[in-house]
Structure 1
Amino acid sequence: MGRSQQTFNKSEKEKKRLKKREDKRKKMEARKAEKEANGTSGIPLAYVDYNGNLTDTPPDPTNKVKVEAENIEVSIPKKEDSDEEFDPVRQGKVSFYDSSKGFGFIIDMETNEKHFTHVSNLEDDIAENDKVTFELAKGKRGMDAVKVKLK
């Protein structure tokens, strides 16, 4: 006589599956009963008011603004030519400089940011606490001070 193919694990899985199905049926019936009791027709609507906030009441049509499709900018607006000329020359102070190793740091007077400088970017000999003028260029780890001159 052969053994039954129904194991304990299989019967437990079957019980869980049937319980899940029954729970789902009960939830569906509860939703139907609530719908009949409250008279709701499904998902409530959300509106966006004049200030961009979500509300449950429709917005006032008198505040409606007509926007032309050509006026909508999806990307970053283009820079317009301005009368101001950008001066690439900055002023700063040498906070650290090691002449034996050939590098140092300059603090920008406007932004108080430190910028690395190398001896190959120097036009004059500099020392610590000297006031200098310089330009910025993209380096390996950020912006580097180049064309460094004594002020």
Structure 2
Amino acid sequence: MAKSQQTFSKKEKEKKKLQKRKEKQLKKEERKANATDGTLENMMAYVDEFGNITDTPPDPTQKKKEVKASSIEIGVPKQEEEDLSTERRGRVAFFNDSKGYGFINQDGSQDRFFVHVNGLKEPIQEGDRVRFSLEKGPKGMNAIEVTKV
């Protein structure tokens, strides 16, 4: 007598596939039953004065604020020019002699500036108090004319 070609695991997989199809069909029918009409008014979204998205239209009786088009800035705001010629003071936070660069923390602020061995007037080490000027580099401000205090 011949043995059946279907194994137990094949039968289980078929049952699971059928069950998933039934669940999917039920969900589809439930969505159709609970669906609201797809009119344009139901799909509209509004932005309130704080930038939040809401489904209620704005109140037309509310006072509107006039904005001049010239006052709108697009992009990054312009930075004020720093006086680079003034001498600053700080402490060497990190300096690697073998690679020839480091960083200086400015006194009285959170500013940290890159320093290269070419910008030194005398050798420095970590922890030294220094006096320096600034110049604009390709990636930000660089400390130059660095001397120990």
With the shorter chain as reference, the TM-score category is: 0.5 to 0.7
Q: Contact (CA 8 Å) 2:134, 2:141: kept in 1 or not? A: no
Counterpart of 1:32?
32
Partner of 1:146, secondary structure, is strand
Q: Deviations over 1:27-48 (max 9, x none)?
A: 222233334xxxx215754321
Q: Deviations over 1:116-150 (max 9, x none)?
A: 656653336889876623225659xx865321247
Partner of 2:34, secondary structure, is helix
**Aligned: 1:92 with 2:89:** yes
Mapped partners of 2:89, 2:51: distance in 1: 45
Mapped partners of 2:118, 2:5: distance in 1: 84
Aligned runs of 1:128-143 on 2, under 5 Å? 132-135=131-134
Query: Identity percentage over the alignment?
Result: 43
Q: Deviations over 1:76-97 (max 9, x none)?
A: 35x48x7xx532144104568x
Q: Contact (CA 8 Å) 2:132, 2:144: kept in 1 or not? A: no
Counterpart of 2:119?
121
1:53 deviates by 1.5
Q: Which amino acid aligns with 1:41?
A: D
Q: Contact (CA 8 Å) 1:137, 1:146: kept in 2 or not? A: no
Relative to structure 1, the CA distance from residue 59 to residue 112 in structure 2 (aligned partners, 3 Å threshold; closer, same or farther) is closer
Partner of 1:76, secondary structure, is coil
Q: Contact (CA 8 Å) 1:105, 1:114: kept in 2 or not? A: yes
Q: Which amino acid aligns with 2:88?
A: Q
Unaligned runs of 5+ in 1: none
Per the normalisation by structure 1, the TM-score is 0.56
Relative to structure 1, the CA distance from residue 44 to residue 10 in structure 2 (aligned partners, 3 Å threshold; closer, same or farther) is same
Q: Deviations over 1:2-58 (max 9, x none)?
A: 3222111111111111111111222222233334xxxx2157543212332222211
Counterpart of 2:17?
17
Partner of 2:83, secondary structure, is coil
**Among candidates 139, 145, 148, match of residue 146 of structure 2:** 148
Q: Contact (CA 8 Å) 1:47, 1:58: kept in 2 or not? A: yes
Aligned residues: 141
Mapped partners of 2:92, 2:73: distance in 1: 45
Q: Which amino acid aligns with 2:3?
A: R
Partner of 1:123, secondary structure, is coil
